[in-house]
Amino acid sequence: MNIINFGSCNIDYVYKLSHFVKPGETIKSDNLNRFPGGKGLNQSIAAARSGLKVYHAGCIGKDGEFLKNVLTESHVDITYLKISDVQTGHAIIQVDDKGENCIILYSGSNYMLDKDYIDYVLREFSSNDIVLLQNEINNVEYIIESAYKKGMAVILNPSPFNNALTKVNLDMVSILMLNEIEGFEFSRETEPTKICNYFKSKYPNLKIVLTLGSEGSIYSDKNETIFCPSFSVPVIDTTSAGDTFTGYFICGMINGMKTYETLKFASAASALAVSKNGASSSIPYKSEVESAIKKLVPNKQCLILPQK
Ligand code: RIB
C-alpha cells in the first residue's frame, strides 16, 4: 500500500519573538531561520520517517529545488513532483517565547496543480493506495472526487481552513484529521464531543481524528470515541506538530495498531517535534518515537467518551 500525498512545499522564514506583532506595532527579531516546510512536505516526511512508502505530488519553483533533497533524504519518492517557473510557496512564521506560532502563507507554485497533472498522477496508483491531502494547494475538491471515483481511500487534513472546504462532500473522505479551530469552522461547535457528534450525524461513515493541542487527541467514528492525552514536554516550537501527528497516525493505522495505541504513537511523535525548532527538521524517526514512548509522561489519564 502506497501513500500519494498531493501537498504543499514551502520555504519557511521563522522569526523568534517575545510576542506576536500587534496591529500598528513594529518589533525587531534577532533570530531568523530558513527551514523547509509546508504542511504537505512535512506530512510526507513524517509518514516516510515512520516507515511508510510515500510519494509526494505537488509543485515547487526553481528557487525551491533544495526541497527535493529534503524530501529524498527522508526517502520520500519525488517522481511526480513538478517544477514550474512560479516562485515556490513560502510561510512567514512568528514563534513566541511560549513556542506558539502564527503564520502568513504565500501559495506561489503550490497553486500550479492543473487537472491534467492530477489525472496523470492518479493514473499511476491503484484503489489499494491512499490519497493524503491538506488545504495548501489548489484543486483539492477535484483531487478528492477523482480519488474517490477510483475507489481510493482519502485522508483529508483541512488545514488551513477556508470556505472552499465547505463545498467538499465529506462522504468521499475516509478520515478527516483536524484541530479544534477547523472543527469549529465546520460545525460552529467548540466542545470536542459536539464537534465529533456534528460529523457523526452528517457523515456517518467518516472517521474523525480531532487534535486538541496540549490536551490530547480524539478518534471518533460511528462505533467508538476514544480520547488519548498528549505528553508533557518542554515546548520549543509547535510548528509541524499537527503534521507529525498526521504522518504517524496514518502509520499506526496502516500497520493495524489499536486505535488508542495509534493516537498514543502519533502523540509521542508530535511531542518530540515540539521539543525542537523548525518544521520538517523537527520530525522524528520511528526508532526515536519507539524509544521515547516508554519514557514520556502523559498529561492525563485516557478516558473513553460516552456516545451520544
Ligand atoms: O504546519 C506547519 C506548516 O504550515 C509550516 O511548515 C508552514 O509552511 C505552513 O504551511
Looking at residue 191, its amino acid is E
Question: What does the block give as the cell for 140?
Answer: 483539492
From the centroid of its chain, how far is CA 2? 17
Give the C-alpha separation, 67 to 41, whole Å. 9
Count other C-beta atoms under 10 Å from residue 33's C-beta: 15
C-alpha pair distances (Å), 5 with each of 56, 234, 241: 5, 31, 18
* pLDDT > 70 fraction of the chain, expressed in percent and rounded: 97
Give the residue, by CA position, lying nearest to ligand 1 atom 9. 38
> Which pLDDT tens digit goes with each residue over 246-300?
999 999 999 999 999 999 999 999 999 999 887 788 999 999 999 999 988 887 6
Give the C-alpha separation, 271 to 292, whole Å. 9
How many residues does this entry show for the chain?
308
Which residues contact residue 41 at a Cβ distance below 8 angstroms, ignoring those fewer than 6 apart?
7, 8, 9, 10, 56, 58, 67, 70, 71, 280
* Contact (CB, 8 A) for 59 and 82: yes
For residue 10, the ligand 1 atom closest to its alpha carbon is 8
> Which pLDDT tens digit goes with each residue over 232-242?
898 888 888 99
Question: Is the distance from the beta carbon of residue 37 to the nearest atom of ligand 1 less than 6 Å?
Answer: yes
> Which pLDDT tens digit goes with each residue over 29-82?
889 999 999 999 999 999 999 999 999 999 999 999 999 999 999 999 999 999
Question: Residue 242 Cα, ligand 1 centroid: separation in angstroms?
Answer: 10
What are the E-state strand segments in 107-224? Answer: 130-133, 153-156, 175-179, 207-211, 216-220
Question: Residue 142 Cα, ligand 1 centroid: separation in angstroms?
Answer: 23
pLDDT at site 17: 94
* Contact (CB, 8 A) for 35 and 278: yes
The DSSP 8-state label assigned to residue 306 in this structure reads P
Grid cell 507554485 is found at: 109
Give the residue, by CA position, lying nearest to ligand 1 atom 8. 38
* Contact (CB, 8 A) for 235 and 276: no
> Which pLDDT tens digit goes with each residue over 131-187?
999 999 999 999 999 999 999 999 999 999 999 999 999 999 999 999 999 999 999
Q: Above 90 in pLDDT, residue 192?
A: yes
Cis previous bond, 160, omega within 30: yes
Give the residue, by CA position, lying nearest to ligand 1 atom 7. 38
> Ligand 1, from 157, 239, 246, 274: best to mutate by most atoms within 8 Å of Cβ?
239
Q: Above 60 in pLDDT, residue 301?
A: no
Question: What does the block give as the cell for 187?
Answer: 460545525
Question: What does the block give as the cell for 200?
Answer: 457523526
The pLDDT mean for the chain works out to 94
pLDDT at site 308: 47
Strands 130-133 and 89-95: unpaired
pLDDT at site 281: 86
Give the residue, by CA position, lying nearest to ligand 1 atom 6. 37
Question: Is the distance from the beta carbon of residue 41 to the nearest atom of ligand 1 less than 6 Å?
Answer: no
Q: Which residue among 12, 129, 221, 243 is the active-site one?
A: 243
